[in-house]
Amino acid sequence: MYAVVTGSGIRQADEEAFWEQGNGICVLDEPQWEKLDAVRERFNIPYDESLIHFCKLENHAGYLYATLKIPPKQENDSSKSFRFYMWKEYLIFVDNAGTVCEQAENILQKKLRDRYTLGHFLYDFFAGLLGDDLLFLQELEREIAKIEEQVLRGCCPQFNIKVLGLKKKISKFYRYYMQLSDIGQELYDNEMGFFEKESLRRFDRLRDRALRLAGETQVLRDYTMQVQEVYQSEIGIRQNDVMKMLTVVTTIFLPLTLIAGWYGMNFAYMPELGMKYAYPVVIGISVLIIVLSLLVFKKKRYW
């Protein structure tokens, strides 16, 4: 699928009008492959789309070449990848997923300013890609906050799996935004001289916007690390509570074990063995020890 923009003005055109006049933007749902083959041969566009692994912009002899790979925002979605080639008067996108055509149609539905150039279109295109990313990052923040609340309530099943998935997603988008900021910087540098000053100011804003989004992902990554620390702290607190209870139980039964061991000795002359009330007295002493121990622990706030 191709979307082609020319410098003679941005307007929607049908397929025949575009290929005959080279004018406007053409969104091809069912392209005529013999015409696309001619464009591939003219501009030396490769067929293979599997080599797109990240976002980059390269300056070549007389044209710009860029690849973009957008990470998925939902678990069931897949990443979107496409590329574009830009000359002085032509901007050609190669896209098999329909992302470019969707963004182009959104741009065309708006009221375009006068003297709308390729630079304007390219900026609006990238701005459309980042349009709802801040809301997406806020949704991630709410998801992290929800996990934090579950941790504090002590009911967060599969914590490690959830946090690992969030950390991977945040890392992917951090790299994505940093790569887009590099593309914005390359466009702002304007080594080929394709863009006017107004477009350069827009590309500078694009770079700053991508950097701010990258900064937001850094904040989310730090927040995720803090939640992990809270989780580890909660585990430590629960372990301390268990150890405290075991210590209390051990301390209470230690004197009782001493009494049982003492009167379990096999000596022939132990006067307490012949006393009529020795057994209930020992029971009373044991109960008294337990009560006194519990009172001491409660006073010391051990439980």
Per-residue pLDDT at 36 exceeds 70:
no
pLDDT (mean) for 149-163 = 86
Distance CA(217)–CA(214), nearest Å, equals 5
User: Taking CA 131 as the corner, what is the angle to CA 14 and CA 187, rounded to the nearest 5 degrees?
Assistant: 75
Return the CATH number at 100: 3.30.460
Candidate ranges 102-116, 119-133, 142-156, 167-181; pick with highest mean pLDDT = 167-181
Residue 49 confidence (pLDDT) above 60: no
Residue 217 in domain: no
Q: Does the pLDDT of residue 294 top 90, yes or no?
A: no
What domain range is 254 assigned to?
244-299
Residue 232 CB contacts under 8 Å (≥ 6 apart), including other chains: none
CA geometry: angle at 296 spanning 293 and 300, to 5°? 140
In whole angstroms, how large is the CA radius of gyration of the chain? 36
| Residue entry with tokens 């701005």 | 127
- Categorize the per-residue pLDDT at 179 as very low, low, confident or very high, splitting at 50, 70 and 90: very high
Query: Residue 303's pLDDT is what?
Result: 66
Q: What is the pLDDT of residues 203-247, one digit of tens each?
A: 999 999 999 999 999 999 999 999 989 888 888 888 888 888 888
* Within-domain flag for 127: no
Per the DSSP assignment, residues forming a β-bridge with 3 are 27, 93
Does any domain span residue 137?
Answer: no
Residue 4 domain flag: yes
Q: Which of 129, 104, 100, 97 is nearest to 24 (CA)?
A: 104
CATH number where 269 lies: 1.20.58.340
Report whether 4 contacts 14 (CB < 8 A): no
**Is the pTM above the cut of 0.95?**
no
Select from 63, 88, 112 the last residue of a domain: 112
Percent of the chain with pLDDT over 70: 81
Q: 57, 89, 112 — which closes off a domain?
A: 112
Q: How many domains does the chain have?
A: 2
Which of 112, 132, 164 delimits the end of a domain?
Answer: 112
Query: What pLDDT is stored for residue 39 in this prediction?
Result: 56
Average pLDDT over residues 282-286: 88
Q: Is residue 16 part of a domain?
A: yes
**175 CB-contact burial (10 Å; exposed 0-12 / middle 13-18 / buried 19+):** middle
Residue with tokens 């910087």: 185
Q: Identify the helix (H) or strand (E) that includes residue 247.
A: helix 197-262
Is residue 2's pLDDT more than 50?
A: no
Instruction: Assess whether pLDDT exceeds 70 at residue 258.
Output: yes
Residue 294 β-bridge partners? none
Long-range contacts of 295-301 (CB under 8 A, 24+ apart): 297/248, 297/251
User: What six digits make up the tokens of 152?
Assistant: 């504090």
The reported pLDDT for the residue numbered 26 is 46
Confirm whether 29 is domain-assigned: yes
- Which amino acid is it at 130? L
The answer as to whether 134 is a domain residue is: no
Q: What's the rounded Cα separation, in Å, for the pair 299 and 303?
A: 9
Strand-pair category, 90-95 with 63-70: unpaired
In a domain, 258, yes or no: yes
Average pLDDT over residues 154-174: 89
